[in-house]
Amino acid sequence: MRRVVYHRHAVRYLKRMPEDRKRQVKSALGEVAALDDVLVHPNIRAMKGEWEGCFRMRIGSYRAIFQFGEIDGEALLEVLVVGPRGDVY
């Protein structure tokens, strides 16, 4: 299981989201953190171009862009951006 870490841009947007949507996004990201192979999830795609090495997850009308990392041997899921589809890309 990976620890979920939010970048300041993601935190800023999450604070403005309605509570029910915020719970939905955090729950979905927690579910992804527990997966061994994230690409088996139907709502996750590998990113290309500027976002090479990152993944995007569709959560209703919202998108979350994340990557995997490691600090002191601890596996992380780093959430870089959360927001509506038109704003994240």
pLDDT given for residue 1 in this prediction: 85
**pLDDT given for residue 15 in this prediction:** 96
- The beta-strand segments (E) located in the chain are 3-6, 44-46, 55-59, 62-71, 74-84
Average pLDDT over the chain, rounded to whole?
A: 93
Q: What is the pLDDT of residue 88?
A: 80
pLDDT band at 14 (very low <50, low <70, confident <90, very high): very high
In one letter, which amino acid is 71? I
Domain 3-88 grouped into CATH 3.30.530.20 = no
pTM strictly above 0.85? yes
With a pLDDT cut of 90, the percent of the chain lying above it is 84
Q: For the segment 54-82, what is each residue's pLDDT rounded down to a tens digit?
A: 999 999 999 999 999 998 889 999 999 99
